[in-house]
Amino acid sequence: MEVLRTEPDHKKLPPPKRRLSEKTKDALSAYLYISPFFILFAIFGLFPILFSFYLGFQRWNGFGEMEFVGLRNFELILGDALFWKSLGNTLIIGILGTVPQLFVAILLAFALNSAIVRFKNFFRVSIFLPYVTSTVAVAIVFGIMFNNQDFGLINIIVGWFGIDPISWGTTEWGVKIAIATMIFWRWVGYNTIIYLAGLQSIPHDLYEAAKIDGATIYQQIRYITIPMLKPVIIFTVFLSTIGSLQIFAEPLVFLGRTFREEGMTVVLYLWREAFVNMAFGPASATALILFVIIILFSSINMYIANRIGK
């Protein structure tokens, strides 16, 4: 009996599936791991920025339909005397609270890095504590210290020097000094730790070689410490410039919702336009103007910081 043998029909088989290579799988896995950051940044970072830019040219109270008004919001803001007052307040408070802070932070970092100071770890933790303290708590405590009454702590201290009690919450310079003191106290430890890390990264061999060559302490600081610390100084100046132009929580908590002109900063002005006056268009226009101002002042400060040591 003859057995019939049939040949397999290759044409009816499905085509083989193309599988991903190991390299592609590794790349996809890496993108999946880092995707939460980019997704959250897109939702809570990129979208608000783009939406704020769009709102800067609209009239909108947060509920109704938007209306395109061109540059009208910018004209309103730039023609408002209170905006220029808030910008002046921001610059003055920023200078009072930031410039002394950076100089003191460098001196404290030198002290903590020296061999004559004992219990360094204790002092490093103590000086960093204000940074992790709640801004609201700081503002409340300083609000009590800078009380307008005679029994306020700061008024008692200035009274020892024969100075009459100062109304810290209502006078032009009293408000600015009180807010600048809060900013100084809260951020000096943060900058001190950054400078300390920069100082500890400088090789000791350079100082030893300088001592052998007869260099004085002043020459060591000028020709070794400052040039080696320059990138750290530029970094702190850059961050401090941005932070000083975004002062918000301290004046809001210290002055409450009175929105006194003496303590009105640009960000507080922006917040009042958006969430008190429900004028999101002018508020977004203020944010865009502040963005340009931050770029301008950051560039100037970066240029000045780059000149250090030359």
Confidence of residue 81 (pLDDT cuts 50, 70, 90): very high
The answer on pLDDT for 259 being more than 50 is yes
**Cα(259)–Cα(249) distance, rounded to whole angstroms?**
12
**Stretch (H or E) spanning 219:** helix 217-220
Q: Give the Å distances, CA to CA, from 104 to 50, 84, 127.
A: 39, 30, 12
Q: What is the pLDDT of residues 4-61, one digit of tens each?
A: 455 555 556 666 666 778 888 888 888 999 999 999 999 998 999 999 999 999 998 8
**Cα(308)–Cα(285) distance, rounded to whole angstroms?**
35
Residues 251/272, Cβ–Cβ less than 8 Å: no
Residue bearing tokens 């307040």: 89
**Cα(109)–Cα(226) distance, rounded to whole angstroms?**
13
How many CA atoms lie less than 13 Å away from 21 in the CB half-sphere? 3
Residues 191/232, Cβ–Cβ less than 8 Å: no
Residue bearing tokens 């030198």: 110
DSSP 18: P
Q: What is the pLDDT of residue 16?
A: 62
| Section 169-190 average pLDDT | 89
Residues 79/165, Cβ–Cβ less than 8 Å: no
Q: Alpha helix locations (H) across 114-134?
A: 120-132
| Section 139-162 average pLDDT | 84
Q: What is the pLDDT of residue 6?
A: 52
Task: Quote the pTM value.
Answer: 0.80
**Cα(266)–Cα(206) distance, rounded to whole angstroms?**
46
**Cα(112)–Cα(107) distance, rounded to whole angstroms?**
9
Phi, psi of 67 (to 5 degrees): -130, 125
Q: What is the pLDDT of residues 194-241, one digit of tens each?
A: 999 999 888 888 888 888 888 888 888 888 888 888 889 888 888 888
Give percent above pLDDT 90 in the chain: 27
| Section 91-113 average pLDDT | 90
**Stretch (H or E) spanning 58:** strand 58-59
Confidence of residue 72 (pLDDT cuts 50, 70, 90): very high
Confidence of residue 288 (pLDDT cuts 50, 70, 90): very high
**Cα(73)–Cα(78) distance, rounded to whole angstroms?**
9
The answer on pLDDT for 3 being more than 60 is no
**Cα(28)–Cα(137) distance, rounded to whole angstroms?**
45
Dig out the tokens for 280 from the structure.
């999101």
**Cα(96)–Cα(236) distance, rounded to whole angstroms?**
16
